[in-house]
Amino acid sequence: MISRVISATPYGFNGQIIEVEGDMSKGLPSLQIVGMGNKAIDESRDRVRSAIKNSSLDFPKGKIIINLAPAELPKDGSHFDLPIALSILCISGALNQSDVSNAVFAGELALDGSLRPIRSAIITAEVAKNQKIKSVYVPAQNAEQAALVTGIDVFPVENLKSLFLHLKKEKIIKPIDRSLIKNISLNHKNTPTIDDIYGQEQAKRAIQIAVAGRHNILLSGPPGSGKTMLAKSLKNLLPALSEDEIVEVTKLHSLGEHTIINNPIVDRPFRSPHHTASRASIIGGGSKVQPGEISLAHRGVLFLDELLEYPRTVLESLRQPLEDHEITVSRANGKFNFPANFLLVATMNPCPCGFLGDPEKTCICSQNQILNYQKRLSGPLLDRIDLTVSVSRVPHEKLLNNKMSTKSQQETFLSEIHKAYSIQRDRYKCSYKYNNDISSNNVDKITSISESAKTFLTNAARKLDLSTRSYFKVIKVSRTIADLEGSTSIEIPHIAESLQYRQINIG
């Protein structure tokens, strides 16, 4: 008799259905697992044997072969423990094949038969839905994450024995109630807000525009001018994720984090990798292909502090994701696509010492040092940054004279950003598309530009020698500025403000 139990495994950003087949024949008692499994799967033999025995169930005496199909697909992880155990119970006669039909099972077994949490339970649920399978059984700790996928019943399983009794219809496990799902937050509550920053009105305005239209921004200035604080204040201006975005972000973090994510993630990610991070950790990859920082920042922010301290190879690898909003990682065992639609926020010093252009402190760098330093940021990458802002130091005598305004600038920004989001949502008929996402060939179809503004932009583009990409980026930023003001069309003041952020000389 051949038993078949359905499971799933992550494969890149998506999942793959896996059939766990079991067969028993006469011979010396043994358990062999085939089908391109890794070390964790090979060791499941001992975990499954002990879990079945300690669940007061009989482990069959015979030669047992478990096959994980399709056999040519490499498989990784301990979540096959549960379907392997159920397959063995089916061939022993303890369960019928009909008991495990039309359901997907995943879970790591402890030696006492209890279930431990697994990675990517949400992908297991998504695969089940795509295969039109209505029931998903996962460890109880992962049930809330799996329940993000609607249209299926997610059953939280505490241990193998309780699942066995449920399948025998002796003690029913109720599917999880989605109304009781708890959420976790990635963002810290002690981050600065716009109200905590004195002065820097132009930089604050640029931050507001960047958030409202999802435009990449670069803050350049001397040390201690507040660049990092400005960048971190952006975190508190981000809106909550939509339902579709929650699923995407949770999937990526369940694949990429070292700790197992059990709950849905509702806040937009804010990733800030150190400049010593490797290229693979930024864009994704490794021996076991995982999403990198740019994918973990999907639908959120990738913050690169001291941009020019990153290796040039790392910076240049950002060019394609910034354009396509996804990354393809090619390895010998396959090609994996991960989404990477992030808002890039970067800071940099204008020179090695940091004081180029500072009115109070003289720069000590030679012209050659300055040129070599700024050349680390290539023209094509700079061209993909929508807003470039020079941040000057606040005078010392004004630092302690910051009188709090009666009206919160944070609340004003949030209100205006919310209105801009509403306008974009109505324009694009989508809750997660922004002005920066418009393709260049659709700019003239979607955005409304007055004739005087077109003439002004054409003359400015000719004088500033703007590239085609920069030309369209000016229009997109102008559209965001118009949305913040509630204007239906782009006018000359919107174009003029957008142009001041297209600085060619970042020093």
Q: What is the pLDDT along the chain (507 residues), one digit of tens a residue?
A: 799 999 999 988 999 999 999 999 999 999 999 999 988 899 999 999 999 999 999 999 999 999 999 998 989 889 999 999 999 999 999 999 999 999 999 999 999 999 999 988 999 999 999 999 999 999 999 999 999 999 999 999 999 999 999 999 999 999 998 887 766 655 555 788 898 888 788 999 999 999 999 999 999 999 988 899 999 999 999 988 988 899 999 999 999 866 677 888 888 999 999 999 999 999 998 878 899 999 999 999 999 999 999 999 999 999 999 999 999 998 877 889 999 999 999 999 999 999 998 888 899 999 999 999 988 999 999 999 999 999 988 777 666 665 555 568 899 999 999 999 999 999 988 877 899 998 888 887 788 899 999 999 999 999 999 999 999 999 999 999 999 999 999 999 999 999 999 865 454
Closest of 259, 337, 330, 248 to residue 297, by C-alpha: 248
Pair 163, 204 in one domain: no
- Answer whether residue 188 is part of any domain: no
Query: What's this model's pTM, rounded to 2 decimal places?
Result: 0.90
The pLDDT value given to residue 408: 84
Pick the last residue of a domain from 384, 411, 438. Answer: 411
Which tokens sit at 428? 């694009």
Of 366, 387, 411, the last residue of a domain is 411
Whether residue 77 is found in the same domain as residue 169: yes
**Does 358 reside within a domain?**
yes
Domain co-membership, 211 together with 297? yes
Locus of tokens 């530009």: 449
Domain containing residue 35: CATH number: 3.30.230.10
Residues 336 and 469 in one domain: no
In degrees and rounded to multiples of 5, residue 442 shows phi and psi of -110, 0
Peptide bond into 273 cis (omega under 30): no
Q: Which domain holds residue 438?
A: 422-499
453 falls within a domain: yes
**How are beta strands 343-348 and 135-139 bridged, if at all?**
unpaired
Q: Per the domain annotation, does 187 fall within a domain? A: no
Say whether both 144 and 204 belong to one domain: no
AA identity, residue 286:
G
CA of residue 371 relative to chain centroid, distance:
35
- 9 and 158 in a single domain? The answer is yes
Is 118 a member of any domain?
A: yes
Q: How far apart are CA 21 and CA 108, in angstroms?
A: 18
* Contact present, 116 and 142 (Cβ < 8 Å): no
Whether 468 is in a domain gets the answer yes
**Per the domain annotation, does 282 fall within a domain?**
yes
Last residue of a domain, one of 370, 385, 411: 411
CATH of the domain at 204: 3.40.50.300
Tell me, yes or no, whether 153 and 198 share the same domain: no
Q: In the chain, how many domains are there? A: 3
**Are 130 and 277 part of one and the same domain?**
no
**Residue 346 to residue 272: CA distance in whole angstroms:** 10
Which residues contact residue 367 at a Cβ distance below 8 angstroms, ignoring those fewer than 6 apart? none
Is residue 18 domain-resident?
A: yes
Same domain, 33 and 161: yes
391 shares a domain with 471: no
CA separation for the pair 345, 219 (Å, rounded): 8
**Angle of CA points 284, 288, 292, to nearest 5°:** 15
The confidence score (pLDDT) of residue 81 equals 97
In a shared domain, residues 226 and 84? no
Residues 14 and 132 in one domain: yes
Question: In this structure, is the dihedral angle defined by the CA atoms of residues 406, 409, 414 and 419, taken in order, positive or negative?
Answer: positive
Domain CATH number, residue 461: 1.10.8.60
Helix (H), strand (E) at residue 284: strand 284-285
